[in-house]
């Protein structure tokens, strides 16, 4: 698109810095002592835990063939669940982890769940990216700025989805989430059940940032809003294709929440009336931003026997033709940061750019706050889960 959800401090004492540097050095030293037999055993295999797209055979098959590597990939739909899997010991299973931007800097690296990258090898690749992602990109670096934690590729804005034949883009931009909270909108929309994203957007609909610790009054207001969103929805689904089909056949006219990628495939099939829209005005504590922009960070897991193919895969994903494959993997189409490279942009057709709403991408991103950790997530998710359970009862 989380739980030790307190934000890390941006400042760091010299003692903390030295302690962290020593830990990183020790980790590198430990990796270098891996037996040749163990290294060779993993040279022909790699395991990826990722958001939909990187598990596409369109992306993986050429890599498998070129590197003579058996690649296994498992998709995920929840960053928090994936983080908890690593905490539970699955660092021994995975070589690559692909999560939304904040996790690497806030939790995965501080908890030693991922390994820093070789900057001499990877820094030059950042010349390909769009200006807003240039090296050293905040979310790709450790707090002290000394370590590169992963590579950023897919990104996009998230707000709501609407059928613009039924509700104008201008109406959503001006009235925002209030459209979905209106009594006359009951039964006209679906809820996309990506838990943390529902929680984030419900908090924004309630009038405050989800990325700050919330007061009891704010949590009470959030509960009122999310219960209305859940109870008034036509249906709840974690299948973005089913939601797009509902918007096409007219059974619903919108989705809460929704990103460009959740409707891009439908747009590519000729349904340009389906669109992700970001309201113009948001909560004061987000600087007036109403949406959430996500940027995926792909990192190497702190696997005690990390596959040597993991770093090769990160580098492979920055080849222009692979950037395009990642951008247009089956079922989900997204902009990629490497669209700052003319070689990558030359690979897109006009209808493909239209599918990912490239015409308003800069404007939509400017209306979004960066995806971050949700400090009050355990409580907010509990309220959300209770509302879903009561609806199904």
Band (25; pLDDT cuts 50, 70, 90): very low
Q: How high is the pLDDT of residue 77? A: 76
Element (H, E) at 99: strand 96-100
Q: pLDDT over 70 for what percent of the chain? A: 90
For residue range 331-365, list pLDDT tens digits in order. Answer: 789 999 999 999 999 999 999 999 999 999 999 99
Q: How high is the pLDDT of residue 330? A: 80
Q: How many angstroms separate the CA atoms of 71 and 18, rounded?
A: 37
Question: Does 18 score more than 90 pLDDT?
Answer: no
Question: Does 375 score more than 80 pLDDT?
Answer: yes
Sign of the Cα pseudo-torsion (333, 334, 336, 342, in order): positive
For residue range 55-74, list pLDDT tens digits in order. Answer: 999 999 999 999 999 999 99
Q: pLDDT over 90 for what percent of the chain? A: 85
Band (38; pLDDT cuts 50, 70, 90): low
- 289, 158 in Cβ contact below 8 A? no
For residue range 225-257, list pLDDT tens digits in order. Answer: 999 999 999 999 999 999 999 999 999 999 999
Burial class (CB in 10 A: 0-12, 13-18, 19+), 297: buried
Q: In the predicted model, what is the mean pLDDT of the chain?
A: 90
Q: Name the nearest CA neighbour of 123 among 155, 151, 95.
A: 151
Q: Provide the token pair at 99.
A: 């999560």
Residue of higher predicted confidence among 43 and 382: 382
Tell me phi and psi for residue 303, to 5 degrees. Answer: -80, 130
Q: How high is the pLDDT of residue 5? A: 29
For residue range 272-321, list pLDDT tens digits in order. Answer: 999 999 999 999 999 999 999 999 999 999 999 999 999 999 999 999 99
Q: How many angstroms separate the CA atoms of 310 and 297, rounded?
A: 14
Structural domains of the chain ordered from first start:
14-155+294-353 (3.40.190.10), 156-291+370-392 (3.40.190.10)
Question: Does 192 score more than 80 pLDDT?
Answer: yes
Q: How many angstroms separate the CA atoms of 275 and 263, rounded?
A: 7
* E strand map for 142-259: 151-163, 189-192, 235-237, 254-259
Q: How high is the pLDDT of residue 4? A: 28
Band (80; pLDDT cuts 50, 70, 90): confident
Q: How high is the pLDDT of residue 1? A: 39
3-state secondary structure of 116: coil
- 85, 49 in Cβ contact below 8 A? yes
Q: How high is the pLDDT of residue 52? A: 86
3-state secondary structure of 284: helix
Q: pTM here? A: 0.86
Strand-pair category, 45-51 with 70-76 = parallel
Q: How high is the pLDDT of residue 39? A: 52
CA distances for 330 relative to 56, 298, 325, angstroms: 7, 19, 9
Beta bridge partners of 76: 51
Q: How high is the pLDDT of residue 318? A: 98
- 133, 110 in Cβ contact below 8 A? no
The whole-angstrom distance between residue 318's C-alpha and the CA centroid of its chain comes to: 18
Question: Does 30 score more than 50 pLDDT?
Answer: no
Rg of the chain over Cα atoms, rounded to whole angstroms, equals: 21
Q: Provide the token pair at 244.
A: 């797009």
User: Residue 70 CB: number of other CB atoms within 10 A?
Assistant: 12
- 357, 197 in Cβ contact below 8 A? no
**Averaged pLDDT, 165-174:** 98
The whole-angstrom distance between residue 286's C-alpha and the CA centroid of its chain comes to: 19
Q: How high is the pLDDT of residue 332? A: 83
User: Residue 259 CB: number of other CB atoms within 10 A?
Assistant: 30
């Amino acid at each position: 698109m989380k739980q030790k959800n307190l934000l890390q401090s941006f400042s760091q004492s010299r003692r903390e810095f030295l302690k962290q540097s020593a830990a990183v050095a020790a980790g590198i030293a430990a990796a270098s002592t891996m037996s040749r037999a163990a290294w060779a055993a993993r040279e022909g295999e790699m395991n990826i835990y990722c958001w939909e797209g990187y598990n596409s055979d369109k992306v993986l098959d050429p890599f498998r063939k070129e590197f003579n590597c058996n690649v296994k990939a498992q998709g995920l739909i929840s960053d928090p669940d994936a983080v908890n899997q690593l905490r539970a010991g699955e660092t021994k299973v995975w070589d690559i982890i692909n999560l939304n931007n904040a996790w690497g800097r806030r939790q995965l690296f501080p908890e030693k769940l991922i390994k820093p990258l070789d900057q001499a090898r990877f820094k030059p690749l950042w010349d390909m990216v769009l200006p807003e992602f240039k090296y050293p990109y905040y979310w790709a670096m450790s707090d002290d700025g000394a370590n590169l934690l992963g590579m950023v590729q897919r990104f996009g804005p998230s707000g709501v989805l609407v059928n613009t034949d039924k509700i104008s883009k201008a109406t959503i931009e001006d009235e925002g989430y209030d459209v979905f909270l209106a009594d006359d909108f009951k039964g006209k929309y679906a809820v996309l059940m990506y838990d943390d994203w529902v929680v984030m957007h419900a908090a924004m609909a309630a009038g405050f940032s989800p990325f700050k610790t919330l007061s009891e009054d704010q949590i009470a207001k959030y509960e009122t809003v999310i219960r209305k969103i859940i109870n008034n929805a036509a249906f709840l689904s974690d299948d973005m294709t089913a939601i797009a089909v509902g918007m096409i056949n007219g059974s619903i006219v919108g989705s809460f929440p929704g990103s460009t990628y959740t409707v891009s495939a439908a747009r590519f099939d000729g349904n340009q009336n389906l669109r992700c829209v970001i309201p113009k005005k948001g909560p004061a504590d987000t600087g007036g931003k109403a949406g959430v922009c996500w940027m995926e960070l792909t990192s190497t897991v702190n696997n005690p026997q990390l596959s040597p193919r993991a770093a090769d895969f990160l580098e492979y994903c920055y080849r222009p033709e692979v950037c395009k494959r990642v951008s247009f993997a089956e079922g989900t189409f997204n902009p990629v940061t490497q669209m700052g490279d003319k070689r990558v942009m030359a690979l897109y057709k006009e209808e493909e750019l239209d599918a990912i709403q490239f015409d308003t991408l800069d404007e939509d991103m400017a209306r979004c706050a960066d995806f971050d950790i949700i400090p009050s997530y355990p409580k907010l998710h509990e309220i959300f889960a209770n509302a879903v359970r009561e609806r199904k009862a």
